[in-house]
Structure 1
């Protein structure tokens, strides 16, 4: 008799950086077990109601619990908010008859972990960032099932597997898709292409610095594909070689296939995707929370696959003196691409899905 469908609740809401690996993991489970019943926890405060239903998964909303890092009034109100959110999460576990909870951090993770523990449901933690968040730091001490983006992430019981990625990214053959991708964006088939992106919302500092250096990039023969962000504009006169500015790219595998080098922030997902496809980059970390984003890019820089520059130092002069010499050196580009690829993980989603399904099977046999 065939085994009954796995019943899994995933918790990784609020930001795209939490939601994307959560949904990629869910997709990986579905590839292994198409019958899996997967429910996502989320809140109304972030991107949950936009991104999760679009991926085809049921969404259950619970009250958000932002965990404060400093002693303030919001922190003093946390126990009450957490109690209400845990009750709501427990009700979801009961309704779905969840057999395992898989959390990726964010506003819904801590309530999900506590509810699972109270219900005797095993839970799994995944930490994508080099500096773990509060929810995952606490939860990692309460379960032996902990996965991390890399060995540099310090958590109890942590097993490095990488970050779950979409198959279109994880399995990308950049060379094979290069000509089609460049034609898609109106780029020349030959010559160096610099991809510029500040993430889903764009980054003004990056936009301003690169667009101000457009003339020097053109003189150097560098084409630019600039993903400015949906609320931003980049005003660069038409000319040759092409400087193509777009607000957003839905299928980033084409942007990656078109590019030889990237300028970007160093969010965990961005670092994971570029490393998986072997793209070297200049990472300009978001200057918040004591420079946490910088830590995500350090392993790639250490391997020789990236440069890291502070937000306040990234300007046209830096582009002229530090970036242009790299873009003009094919051997340097090839070395950095190979080095970046050594830090990537293409199969994190399937690896983690197999581990979670095995945990579920073991728990069923023990019942």
Structure 2
């Protein structure tokens, strides 16, 4: 017989709940977790939210910056397929689960919310039979951690219909209110001044995820002359571990390279069109703010990034280019004419309206608080 779930006992209705979020590694895991955390505190200002992470993840920067406590646990290496040795809990898994369980007990966790990845798996295993679990899956093709967690979760939330997890409830992807409430037109002047961009030129935003993308960096920077000749300004986040040297063209709109975008809201407000990968979080944010996109899906994995981009492409809000086809010539041929076509940009922006679930953060927060018994 399994052990009774203790989370609900610790958080009877009216008691301030403690919510533990597990979404470390990349921004695609961390940002939905933090958007949920914000929504939980809007609904229950007395709640406590604690994030789990590892020493190697981007959460070490993002979580403290948003004001949430971060508890570090050993990472668990994730094979791409469920293997017998994982089920047998080898030493690394066993140690991480033990350490995670200590954290859950110390903070008095009433519910554990996992967003997949190597932080979520030990959280699920540590909470199993002790604390209610809520799983959120952003991709239509679930990762291993969420496949495991969903087997014994209290609730399973997914971004899109057809996600093959048991008890799946479609809620969308939690996004920051600074994104879902963004008035791009009202912030445009401030945003362009913030990044030292031309205040009036049509502007292209370029990024390849939190670590950058070498193929996107090479293709867009290689078309710098064509972009300058067309009068297009560029804001290009190349990734903190990459460098980008771009030729300057005096008298033309600035091409501004930056390692990382701390203010994505201002980056979106500054732009007319974006060239980017199509991770689930990115695709959701770009559609939410109504920004026309040229998506370049990551060519690795199980093809989920192309799946993420397809709804916006089908709606007429985005174009899709394969990584293999991306080149400076493709940027000149496809992107330059788009950015300078104001009517087409406006039509694509309008087509993005209605895509996604803008209230996903609070929808998921209500599920989480209910699971916590709060």
Measured after TM superposition, the shift of residue 2 of structure 1 is: 9.1
Contact 1:181 1:258 in 2 (8 A): yes
Q: Which residue of 2 aligns with 1:311?
A: 323
**For residues 38 and 11 of structure 1, what CA distance do their matches in structure 2 show?**
11
The correspondence for 2:206, drawn from 193, 196, 205, is 196
The correspondence for 2:33, drawn from 19, 22, 35, is 22
Contact 2:228 2:253 in 1 (8 A): yes
Measured after TM superposition, the shift of residue 341 of structure 1 is: 3.0
Say whether 1:270 aligns with 2:282.
yes
Q: Which residue of 1 aligns with 2:142?
A: 132
Measured after TM superposition, the shift of residue 122 of structure 1 is: 1.4
**For residues 253 and 105 of structure 2, what CA distance do their matches in structure 1 show?**
59
Q: Which residue of 1 aligns with 2:123?
A: 112
Deviation per CA, 1:327-354, whole angstroms, max 9, x where unpaired?
2332221221122233233322122112
Equivalences for residues 58-97 of structure 1 within 5 A: 58-69=69-80, 79-97=90-108
Alpha-carbon distance change, 31 to 94 in structure 1, aligned in 2, over 3 angstroms: same
Deviation per CA, 1:82-132, whole angstroms, max 9, x where unpaired?
22222222222222222111111111212222222221x211000112321
TM-score (norm 2): 0.89
Contact 1:129 1:149 in 2 (8 A): yes
Alpha-carbon distance change, 70 to 143 in structure 1, aligned in 2, over 3 angstroms: closer
Measured after TM superposition, the shift of residue 148 of structure 1 is: 1.5
- Deviation larger for 24-33 or 327-336: 327-336
TM-score (norm 1): 0.90
Q: Which residue of 1 aligns with 2:18?
A: 7
Contact 1:278 1:344 in 2 (8 A): no
Measured after TM superposition, the shift of residue 316 of structure 1 is: 1.6
Say whether 1:212 aligns with 2:222.
yes
Contact 2:161 2:170 in 1 (8 A): yes
Greater fraction helix: 1
Contact 1:196 1:227 in 2 (8 A): yes
Runs of 4+ residues over 3 Å off in structure 1? 70-80
Deviation per CA, 1:165-203, whole angstroms, max 9, x where unpaired?
222112101111112212222333334211111222222
* Structure 1: stretches of 5+ with no match in the other structure: none
Deviation per CA, 1:208-262, whole angstroms, max 9, x where unpaired?
1111111112222222222222332232213313322223221111110111100
Contact 2:82 2:144 in 1 (8 A): no
Contact 1:147 1:160 in 2 (8 A): yes
**For residues 235 and 73 of structure 1, what CA distance do their matches in structure 2 show?**
50
Deviation per CA, 1:131-159, whole angstroms, max 9, x where unpaired?
21111122223235111122253322222
Measured after TM superposition, the shift of residue 72 of structure 1 is: 8.5
Say whether 1:173 aligns with 2:187.
no
Q: Which has the higher contact order (CA 8 A, sep 6+)?
A: 2
For the residue of structure 1 that corresponds to 2:67, the secondary structure is: coil
Q: Which residue of 1 aligns with 2:6?
A: none
Say whether 1:31 aligns with 2:42.
yes
The correspondence for 1:346, drawn from 358, 364, 368, is 358
